[in-house]
């Protein structure tokens, strides 16, 4: 069987975009439809909150451990947010990719740019709000923030859209179902890319059939 001889690695699907574009909703909807796809789990130094589980919500580590992981180059990316560290562990991601599972990483734009430096084989998808008006509406409708915080968030989302050129794909999130369908198509297409199928030619010729 030719099929079994082809080593099929999973894809790292990086779902990113400005705050308020709806990347979390899109990821959850995609994962519900694709049970074999793994959501990347981050390492953090912050304390577990009620109900959070080790290895599911996060990998909880103390700062000494986290810093030694930084030194050992164990992160695809990491960042310090206020007093705590957050990072994407290479081991967890690579382990699943090698098993042939796709891994989804939902991450902000600064994080995605760092991942791209370390793992350009990833598929970088920018989730775009349908319009800046809609983005504003979404930020406002959260209802938990002051007008100043809303304007800051909105301004930051606007600035971040400039980074779109660093991504492979842009998916406008006008409806979650359509956005998920586009991500599904992107994943299927990426698996057909010639540069991801270098061993196909070798395998198709095995068994002395290419003489």
- Give residues in contact with a second copy (CB under 8 A): 2, 125-126, 128-133, 136, 158, 161-162, 164-165, 167-172, 181-182, 184-186, 188-190, 192-194, 197, 200-201, 204-205, 207, 209-210
Give CA–CA dist 44/78, Å, rounded. 9
Can you tell me whether residue 210 is helix, strand or coil? coil
Comparing CB distances to a second copy, the nearer of 81 and 189 is: 189
Comparing CB distances to a second copy, the nearer of 110 and 197 is: 197
Cβ 24 to a second copy shortest distance, Å: 19
Comparing CB distances to a second copy, the nearer of 149 and 151 is: 151
Cβ 76 to a second copy shortest distance, Å: 21
3 state SS for 18-72: CCCCCHHHHHHHHHHHCCCCEECCEEECCCCCCCCCECCCEEECCHHHHHHHHHC
Cβ 142 to a second copy shortest distance, Å: 19
Cβ 210 to a second copy shortest distance, Å: 5
DSSP for 84-143?
Answer: EEEEEEHHHHHHHHHTT--EEEE--HHHHHHHHHH-TTSEEEEEE-S-HHHHHHHHHHT-
Give CA–CA dist 80/97, Å, rounded. 26
Cβ 150 to a second copy shortest distance, Å: 14
The DSSP symbol for 3 reads H
Cβ 63 to a second copy shortest distance, Å: 37
| Residue in 163, 174, 151, 164 with CA at minimum distance from that of residue 25 | 174
CA distances from 20 to 15, 132, 139, 159 (A): 13, 10, 6, 13
Comparing CB distances to a second copy, the nearer of 56 and 209 is: 209
Comparing CB distances to a second copy, the nearer of 149 and 189 is: 189
Comparing CB distances to a second copy, the nearer of 64 and 209 is: 209
């Amino acid at each position: 069987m030719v099929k079994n001889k082809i080593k099929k690695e999973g894809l790292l699907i990086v779902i990113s975009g400005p705050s308020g574009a709806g990347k979390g909703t899109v990821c959850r909807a995609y994962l519900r439809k694709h049970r074999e796809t793994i959501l990347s789990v981050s390492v953090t130094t912050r304390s577990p909150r009620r109900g959070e589980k080790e290895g599911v919500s996060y990998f909880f580590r103390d700062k000494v451990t986290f810093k030694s992981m930084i030194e050992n180059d164990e992160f695809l990316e990491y960042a310090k947010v206020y007093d705590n560290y957050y990072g994407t562990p290479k081991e967890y991601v690579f382990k699943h990719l090698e098993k042939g599972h796709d891994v989804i990483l939902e991450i902000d734009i600064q994080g995605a740019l760092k991942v791209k430096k370390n793992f350009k084989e990833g598929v970088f998808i920018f989730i775009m709000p349908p319009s800046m008006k809609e983005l504003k509406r979404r930020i406002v409708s959260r209802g938990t923030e002051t007008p100043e915080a809303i304007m800051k968030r909105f301004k930051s989302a606007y600035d971040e859209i400039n980074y779109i050129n660093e991504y492979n794909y842009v998916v406008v999130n006008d409806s979650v179902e359509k956005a998920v369908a586009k991500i599904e198509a992107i994943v299927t297409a990426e698996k057909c890319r010639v540069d991801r199928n270098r061993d196909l030619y070798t395998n198709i010729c095995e068994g002395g059939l290419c003489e």
